[in-house]
Amino acid sequence: MIEQRAPGKLYIAGEYAVVDPGQPAVIVAVDRYITVQLSEGSQVGRVRSSAYGRSPLVWVRDDASDRIVLEHQPYDYVFAAITAVEQLRSERSLPPRYYDLDISSELDDVSGRKFGLGSSAAVTVAVVAALDEFYGLGLGEVERFKLALLATIEVAPTASGGDLAASTFGGWIRYASPDRGALRAHRAAHGVSATLSAGQEWAGSGVTRLAHPDALQLLVGWTGSPASTERLVEQVRTSESRTPLQPYPTFVADSRACVDALVEAFARGGAGAPEVLGRARRVLQRLGASSGITIETPQLRDLCDIAERHGAGGKPSGAGGGDCGVVLADADLATEPILREWEANDIRRLSLAPHPASGGV
């Protein structure tokens, strides 16, 4: 039996802007995982998942229409990953084989609610890794990441792939995305293998490993409300042309400045990073205000305000609208008061730590 696991992730800074090719974000992989076990099948292949069995669909509340909206089935990502690897296998003239995939997740709570720790990305990366091993494709980390991105953008064309990069390479990373439209077109015209080794289509994108910031503590609060990244990104994109308060390019430049400052702070072990996180929070608040989108929900506002009142920096992680908030605090800051106030405000702490970086990149 083959077993591969991939970690979840948290965005630290650069969300939304990272959707534009070449714009950077800082992301950290965390020590909670999706595990895929693969065993050879005989006449048919199957996908089993206890987590997804309990919660086969993801649904979210759309504030604008006051409706419950069904999102993609998590299996979409599994199917997209299988399809991409099978296409590569066929391009290499290897014979097809049957296999069963058993998927288990630490990225949901006991009732199947998603934490918002990048479960779609983790399952995609883990399925690609398991099939790479099964077929002996010898892909290596960079190609696994690229293949996982090609699969993901068939399901969610705007996804930046930052969560896939964190899930593949682990640790703290700076990430900039490629032009996914160009990648999809290249795959459609030339196949998977040629797209993995294409040059121009990947230009400007990349992953840089950041040293673990020893002088910092990472705290994560969970709101208990699942949010839809795809819907939020779509809303921001469609509002880009009508942002009288702050033009979108100003947001992108401000976001980049925060990412640069954070990377510099990390190079110093993390000193000054909590303040930069506060700046990044304000940049996201301005994006929300100018585009009329609730990125910082009342619960996320409480989560971040409490952290700031006690001398730390906090902000929504990722698309916001629910899910998690991330807090950075100096290593010597007492964090009990933050945790106590979170608990009193129905914010659950997720006990997790950065996942160690792999050898790659």
Looking at residue 201, the DSSP 8-state letter turns out to be G
Span interacting with ligand PMV, options 55-63, 155-163, 254-262, 269-277, rule CB under 6 A: 155-163
The nearest distance, CB 46 to ligand PMV, in angstroms, is 28
Query: Is residue 19 within the footprint of ligand PMV (CB under 6 A)?
Result: yes
Please tell me whether residue 11 binds ligand PMV under the rule CB under 6 A: yes
Residue from the set 24, 116, 226, 325 that interacts with ligand PMV by CB under 6 A = 116
15 binds ligand PMV (CB under 6 A): yes
Q: How far apart are CA 202 and CA 153, in angstroms?
A: 14
Under 8 Å between Cβ of 18 and 317: no
Task: Tell which one of 7, 8, 24, 162 touches ligand PMV (CB under 6 A).
Answer: 162
Helix 140-155 and helix 162-169: axis angle, to 10°? 150
Q: Minimum distance from CB of 16 to ligand PMV (Å)? A: 5
Residues linked to residue 13 through DSSP beta bridges, in sequence order: 26
The closest alpha carbon to 254, from 279, 229, 236, belongs to 279
Q: Distances from the Cα of 360 to the Cαs of 59, 101, 166, 171, 230, in angstroms?
A: 36, 26, 12, 11, 29
Please say which residue, 116 or 354, places its beta carbon nearer to ligand PMV: 116
User: Is residue 143 near ligand PMV by the rule CB under 6 A?
Assistant: no
Alpha-carbon separation of residue 197 from 10, 84, 204, 304 (angstroms):
29, 15, 15, 42
Binder to ligand PMV among 229, 243, 255, 299 (CB under 6 A)? 229
- Shortest gap between Cβ of 59 and ligand PMV (angstroms)? 16
How far is residue 74's CA from residue 328's CA, in Å, rounded to a whole number?
30
Q: Does 159 bind ligand PMV (CB under 6 A)?
A: yes
* Angle CA 358–118–83, to nearest 5: 85
Taking residues 315 to 344 in sequence order and writing x for each that binds ligand PMV by CB under 6 A, - otherwise, the string is --xxx---x---------------------
Rg of the chain over all Cα atoms, to the nearest angstrom: 20
What is the Cα–Cα distance from 349 to 273, expressed in whole angstroms?
A: 21
Q: Which of 6, 18, 131, 261 binds ligand PMV (CB under 6 A)?
A: 18
165 binds ligand PMV (CB under 6 A): no
Q: What is the nearest approach in angstroms of ligand PMV to the Cβ of residue 177?
A: 7
Q: 176 or 261: whose CB is closer to ligand PMV?
A: 176
Q: How many residues does the chain have?
A: 361
Q: Which of 131/263 has CB closer to ligand PMV? A: 263
Asked if 297 is part of the footprint of ligand PMV (rule: CB under 6 A), the reply reads no
233 binds ligand PMV per the rule CB under 6 A: yes
Does residue number 145 form part of the binding site for ligand PMV (CB under 6 A)? Answer: no
Residue nearest ligand PMV by beta-carbon distance? 318
Segment holding 360, helix H or strand E: none
The only residue of 16, 99, 115, 342 in contact with ligand PMV, by rule CB under 6 A: 16
Binding flag, residue 4, ligand PMV (CB under 6 A): no
In the sheet where 324-330 sits, what is the strand order?
A: 313-316, 324-330, 216-222, 348-349
Strands 216-222 and 348-349, sheet pairing: antiparallel
Binding site for ligand PMV (CB under 6 A): 11, 15-16, 18-19, 116, 118, 159-160, 162-163, 229, 233, 317-319, 323
